[in-house]
Amino acid sequence: MRAMVESAAIEDQDFRLEARAWLAAHFPPALANVPGLLFQGSRAAADANPDYQLWRAAMTGKGWGVPNWASRYGGAGLTMAQGKIIGEELTAIGGFNPIRSYGTMMLGPTLLEYGNEAQKLEHLPFIASHERRWCQGFSEPGAGSDLASLTTRCTDMGDHWLVSGQKIWTSGADEADWCFALVRTDTSRKHGGISFLLIDMASEGIEARPIVLISGSTHFCEVFFNDVKVPKGNLVGEVNQGWTIAKRLLQFERNSLSEVKADITPLAPLAHDYVGTDALGRIDSPDLRARMVRNAMRHEAYLATVRRIAQEAKNGGPSNGVSTLKNLWSGIIQERSELLVEMMGANGLGWAGEPYSDAEREATHAWLHSKAFSIYGGSYEVQNNITAKHTLGLPG
């Protein structure tokens, strides 16, 4: 199936053909429609899959995992339009970006804007090769939506920084090599007393404790910093400029959360199998059918909006509109997960073992995990507040 071939970049037809041919030659067919997410956090899953290893090596060598980054940072130095073409062609063959990570989605673009050259050269090539994994140390027990209330202390010790405090909900912290963290460098000011620090997770004094989620996975942790020494050069931007940098990084995060995923299994064939068909060959439940159509229409409308916004964006980067998109996408994916579980009936509540198939167990876990979509990256209500204030200009 070839979808989304009309793009912002129809003018570069030669590049599209080149990308199509290269992907056809290098993307392992065994990985088609396998959720790329499987490999993002888990080193064990990635290491155990030879197809994934080949795919990652091919994309890393080509620089197409971060196509718009300069080659000295591990990218391919392509235009935004060419980067989009690669994404579209990947989607069309059920492929995924093998190095998509917190590094590529959040820290990389932020370092490109705010990092100094030494920091870029030190970190970006390792993000581009997926050798250095990152986690995001923002949230704290008393600082989620009100992130600027964070209290993790960072003291200037002259030749280094000293960090003490606790983070929470830190995705992948137990597998991460490094953490980009917000720390407090001035207690007399709220937003103006925060700094942005890069912390090596192997430093003495760091402990990451996994938290078990409702979906059964343990993809995030509590992280404790006990007098952790951090080199002076790991501060990004100026001291106390962290809030500005964090806001930009959160835009990149929401933008990536609202990106259209390639790994969406079509619902209709599953509905045919589980619910059956009527005399006309339609799904044998008018109500379910109507809700599936509504979800599919919302999805199509969403895709069209994403494409329009991308075409309109002059610099190609994310704007406040990503908060609106993030909420829309969360709603579509949550509704879709509900539909999937509903059509599977009792089989859609499988947890482990027989008599459930892999797909049925995955549906249960995905449904439970979908609840988190409207929380992480900024909660639903807070994103609506951002849309109201910054996009619609409503009074605060």
Q: Name the residues that contact ligand FAD, by CB under 6 A.
A: 135-136, 138-139, 144-145, 169-171, 220, 372, 375-376, 378-382, 385
**Choice between 13 and 145, CB closer to ligand FAD:** 145
Q: Which is nearer to ligand FAD, 89 or 175 (CB)?
A: 175
Q: Residue 152 burial by CB count (10 A; 0-12/13-18/19+): exposed, middle or buried?
A: buried
The smaller minimum CB distance to ligand FAD, of residues 85 and 322, is found at 322
Smallest separation (angstroms) from ligand FAD to the CB of 138: 3
Nearest residue to ligand FAD by CB is 144
Tokens of 7: 């793009």
Cβ distance to ligand FAD smaller for residue 214 or 304: 214
Q: Is the preceding omega at residue 355 within 30 degrees of 0, hence cis?
A: yes
CB of 139 to ligand FAD, least distance (A): 4
C-beta of 7 vs 139, nearer to ligand FAD: 139
Instruction: Using alpha carbons, list the distances in angstroms from residue 105 to 8, 20, 211, 248, 285.
Output: 21, 23, 23, 12, 40
Rounded to a whole number of angstroms, the minimum distance from the CB of residue 172 to ligand FAD is 7
Measure the CA–CA gap between 119 and 111, rounded to whole angstroms.
Answer: 8
Measured at the alpha carbon of residue 326, what is the angle toward residues 325 and 328, in degrees to the nearest 5? 60
Q: Are strands 134-137 and 178-184 parallel, antiparallel or unpaired?
A: parallel
Q: For residue 250, give the 3-state DSSP assignment.
A: helix
Strand partners, 277: 283
CB of 373 to ligand FAD, least distance (A): 8
Q: Give the C-alpha separation, 70 to 231, whole Å.
A: 27
- Of the residues 89, 140, 253, 360, only one is catalytic, namely 253
Concatenating the DSSP letter of every residue in 279-337 gives TTSSBS-HHHHHHHHHHHHHHHHHHHHHHHHHHH-SS----THHHHHHHHHHHHHHHHH
Our answer to whether residue 253 is catalytic in this structure is yes
Tell the smallest beta-carbon distance from residue 301 to ligand FAD (Å). 25
Say if strands 206-211 and 220-231 run parallel, antiparallel, or are unpaired.
antiparallel
- DSSP secondary structure, 111-137, as one string: HHHH--HHHHHHHHHHHHTT-S-EEEE
User: Is 304:260 a contact under the CB 8 Å cutoff?
Assistant: no
Closest distance of CB 38 from ligand FAD, Å: 16
Query: Nearer to ligand FAD by C-beta: 134 or 161?
Result: 134
Active site residues: 253
